[in-house]
Chain A
Amino acid sequence: METSDAAVVRRVLGGDVEAFGILVERYFDHYVRFAVHLVGNREDAEEVVQDTFVRAYRALGRYEERERFGAWLLRILVNRARTVSAIGRRREQMFPDQVDESLPEAAEAHPADRAALREEVARALSQLGPDQREAFLLHYAEGLSYEEMAAITGSGVSALKMRVKRSCERLREILQGVNRV
């Protein structure tokens, strides 16, 4: 029988630190996937997710069971990713010759067609603004409703709908442009 997230949290708060590993196993891979698309490279994504879990553990006393644990975790992750992305943008502005090249390297481990698709996806997403990319991924990669997205991002539902709509339009332009070449 699978233990609910809330029950695991209660175990951790009761002193069973190792039980936190259940939540790590349950959510880590899923959120690495999300973070890779959000921040644009595997190394930063792993760091963001690591940091998210440690922060979540330290703040576990503030978690309220009426909120879905995964959504609570995602809110922490989104905030961390925003910080990392902002730092990355500043770094690129300061050191334009040192732009992270890890995406093509990460793709080399996959079959050629799959690698090409992943690279194309990453490049298309990288051409969206940070807010648009975040909204698009929350809606389409995570399958969240606009109300859930609003709770996580702090933005209004109508603003989020507009971001998703514009990101879809932009991505279609980018992908069709790529396909025509």
Chain B
Amino acid sequence: MPTPDPLAALIAELREPVAGDPASKRRVMEMVRESPLPVAGATVVARPLHQRSRAFAAIRRMRGGDSRTSSASALATAAGIALLLAVGAQERPTTSYQPGRRAVTLGDSVASVASAIRDTLRIVQFMLTAPAASRVALAGDFNGWDTRGTPLARDARDGRWTVTLALAPGRHRYAYVVDDTQWVRDPAATPAEPNELTPPRSVVIINR
């Protein structure tokens, strides 16, 4: 009697049904409900730049500006400032990750304009070009160095990862976390003071 092929038994086992955890399915739907509605035909869904656009639009509405005005000039009128932040770039990039652009301040947030609070928040965009990465997150003193809490969104066309945050003026240290494990400082920004006990970090200074 021929010996059964052990590989056939293995393949049969691979095709045996497995029940997924119902809690995992529920969690998927919870996260789906928390996500922005996907848009048909969109190249990238829920990009941070959309948030920026919404902020621009809101500021224009508040100021009664012309919606046909360019975003940058409208923002300059509305907020009084639309400045590129001098974040310094004394060092050339030393990693394989390329700077898309320095972390830049885009203007006052809608919240700060609306409430006219003294400590105005600024909208800051962080960008890293890392086409081979599967996941990029931003960790900094502003989020408790959480390596997962502030993910960047990828633009599939050019491999750029971006996230836009509202941050208080001041000096902030931060780094990018690539694929959950690799700490990468912003190649375009000022490096933070080196410390043997901490991963590479950068500094962004946000003016009032």
Give the interface of A toward B (CB within 8 A): 12-13, 15, 17-18, 20-21, 24-25, 28-29, 32-33, 36-37, 46, 49-50, 53-54, 57-62, 79-80, 82-83, 86-87, 90, 117-118, 120-121, 124, 137, 140-141, 168, 171-172, 175-176, 179
Which A-B residue pairs are the 8 nearest by beta carbons?
Answer: A175-B6, A33-B18, A61-B42, A60-B38, A32-B20, A141-B14, A83-B134, A13-B40
Indicate if the CB atoms of B14 and A137 lie closer than 8 Å: yes
Question: Which residues on B sit within 8 Å (CB–CB) of A120?
Answer: 10
Contacting chain A: which of B24-32, B89-97, B102-110?
A: B24-32
Chain A CB within 8 A of B193 CB: no
Report the bound CA distance from A151 to B21 in whole Å: 29
Residues of B within 8 A of A124 (CB): 10
Interface SS, B side = loop
8 A-B pairs besides A20-B32, A54-B31, A172-B5 with CB distance below 8 A are A18-B29, A29-B17, A33-B14, A83-B179, A90-B181, A118-B13, A121-B10, A172-B6
Contact call A57/B134, Cβ cutoff below 8 A: no
Given A33-B17, A172-B7: A24 and B38 interface contact (C-beta under 8 Å): no
Q: Is the CB of B18 within 8 A of A36?
A: yes
Residues of A within 8 A of B16 (CB): 33
**14 A-B residue contacts at CB 8 Å?**
A15-B37, A24-B25, A28-B28, A36-B18, A54-B28, A54-B35, A57-B32, A59-B38, A61-B38, A61-B39, A121-B13, A121-B14, A140-B11, A172-B7
How many B residues, CB 8 Å from partner?
A: 41
Q: Classify the interface of chain A: helix, strand, loop or mixed.
A: helix
Choose from A12, A118, A171 the contact partner of B7 (Cβ within 8 Å). A171
CB distance from A118 to the nearest CB of B (A): 7
Which of B25, B27, B37, B42 contacts A25 (CB under 8 A)? B25
CB distance from A116 to the nearest CB of B (A): 11
Could you tell me if A58 and B46 are in contact, using CB atoms closer than 8 angstroms? Answer: yes
Q: How far is the CA of A80 from the CA of B134 in the complex (A)?
A: 8
Residue on A nearest B134 in the bound complex, by CB:
A83
Check if B43 is an interface residue, CB within 8 A of chain A.
yes
Chain B residues within 8 Å of A54, by CB:
28, 31-32, 35
Residue with the highest number of chain A CB atoms closer than 10 Å, among B7, B15, B181: B7
**A24 / chain B contacts, CB cutoff of 8 Å:** 25, 28-29
- Given the known interface contacts A57-B35, A175-B6, the answer about A62 and B180 at a Cβ–Cβ threshold of 8 Å is no
Tell me whether B197 is interfacial, beta carbon within 8 Å: no
Q: How far is the CB of A122 from chain B (nearest CB, A)?
A: 10
- Residues of A within 8 Å of B11, CB to CB, are 140-141
Chain A residues with CB under 8 Å of B5's CB are: 172
**B10 lies within 8 A of A171 (CB):** yes
Please, which residues of chain B bring their CB within 8 A of the CB of A168?
7
Whether, in the assembled complex, B33 has its beta carbon less than 8 Å from a beta carbon of chain A, the answer is yes
Q: Are A50 and B28 in contact (CB under 8 A)?
A: yes
Q: Assess A53 versus B28: contact at CB under 8 Å? Given A117-B13, A141-B14.
A: yes
* CA of A66 to CA of B37, assembled, Å: 22
Alpha-carbon separation in the docked complex, A59 to B21 (Å): 24
Q: Which residues of A contact B29 (CB under 8 A)?
A: 18, 20-21, 24
